Amino acid sequence: MKTFKSILQFAKEFDTDAKCRLYLEEQRWGGTPACHHCGSINVCRFANNSGVFKCREKQCRKKFTVTCGTVYQDRKLPLTKIFLAVYVLGTHSKGISSLQLANLLDISQKTAWLLNHKVRAMLKEGEKELLNGEIELDETFIGGKDSNKHKGKRTGKTPSKSLITTGISLYKKDTKTPVFGILQRSGIVRAFKVDNVKVKTLLPIMVDNVTKDSSIFTDEYVGYQKLNEQGFKHESVSHVKLEYVRGNAHTQGIENFWSILKRQINGIHHFVSPKHLQRYCDEAAFRYNNRAKAQDERFAIALTQVNGSLQWKELVS
């Protein structure tokens, strides 16, 4: 793995498409190229074009490159600019806006916006293992106040105090987008954009992501009261009663992540569509989960997750 401690070193290391392509081949294939179409490793590289391979299997015989089957399969940008975008989003504390990225790479804002989302698709966690140990659960809401919206987009609903203090999402359903978070202390965090924070919505997510022998810590929201019935060891603190820590019971860790996510959205992007919110959550979670790793390690991890597809029509449909 190549090492670099600054953006200047990074730009010098990957100053040509050939260097980028060779590095991507190593990260994706581990030195053993495999056919994108049939998976065979019986392939050869074209001598006149080092980036193109051909499968030797009689039933295949197809050509492919290292970007086939990745989010950059139909790329028009050089790999040097794509690599720099991956480096910036993967290592900067709160990411970068499409306008800033456009100025940095000398491309249009529209192209930078698409590139940003392609990189966020890469930063999504791959195969998920069940979290265990001490787990914090919490929910938050992303979006602006109804009174600050354009007149044609206002719902006209005003949240009541009783609904706010009980944590029920009904009062924010039409004004903000709920996000549910699971944090493993001294471990990783996962954030999920959800339609609401009702028990029937959150409970399946908990069961799919947390082992039954875990200790769960939450606030006083009534939606978490059924955790004991599911076999979880559950403790809660009452924020309404100004109780934030009681022994080992608190939600300070997940609330810290919420502050990072909201600073990213409010300070960098200012506005995020609910349709794309999950990718922004994945981006913030990637940086949080890899916060102890060096910049070159984060970049290498991101490049191993390029499989998939994300097209412009899918983003704007």
Give the pLDDT confidence score for residue 317 in this predicted structure.
Answer: 77
Lowest average pLDDT, out of 13-22, 83-92, 244-253, 302-311, goes to 302-311
Confidence of residue 131 (pLDDT cuts 50, 70, 90): very high
Which residues sit opposite 235 in a β-bridge? 217
The answer, yes or no, to whether residue 140 has pLDDT greater than 90, is: yes
CB atoms within 10 A of CB 74: 10
Confidence of residue 156 (pLDDT cuts 50, 70, 90): low
Kindly report the CATH class assigned to 134-272: alpha beta
The answer, yes or no, to whether residue 159 has pLDDT greater than 80, is: no
Average pLDDT over residues 156-182: 60
pTM over cut 0.95 = no
Two structure tokens written together for 93: 């504390």
Q: For the chain, what percent of residues have pLDDT higher than 90?
A: 44
The answer, yes or no, to whether residue 145 has pLDDT greater than 80, is: no
Two structure tokens written together for 97: 């806006």
Give the pLDDT confidence score for residue 30 in this predicted structure.
Answer: 84
At position 301, the amino acid (one-letter code) is I
Convert the pLDDT of each residue in 34-64 to its tens digit: 998 998 999 998 887 678 999 999 899 999 9
In whole angstroms, what is the distance from residue 25 CA to residue 303 CA?
10
Bigger pLDDT: 175 vs 16:
16
Confidence of residue 302 (pLDDT cuts 50, 70, 90): confident
In whole angstroms, what is the distance from residue 250 CA to residue 140 CA?
16
Convert the pLDDT of each residue in 289-299 to its tens digit: 998 988 888 88
DSSP string of 16-66, one letter each residue: SHHHHHHHHHHHHHTT----TTT--S-EEE-SS-TT-EEE--TTT--EE-T
Give the pLDDT confidence score for residue 146 in this predicted structure.
Answer: 67
Q: What residues does each domain of the chain span?
A: 134-272
The answer, yes or no, to whether residue 1 has pLDDT greater than 70, is: no
Convert the pLDDT of each residue in 27-42 to its tens digit: 888 889 999 899 899 9
Two structure tokens written together for 82: 């794509």
Convert the pLDDT of each residue in 198-209 to its tens digit: 888 999 999 899
At position 66, the amino acid (one-letter code) is V
Shortest CA distance to 233 belongs to which of 256, 251, 214, 252?
214
In whole angstroms, what is the distance from residue 314 CA to residue 317 CA?
5
Determine contact, residues 236/222, Cβ cutoff 8 Å. no
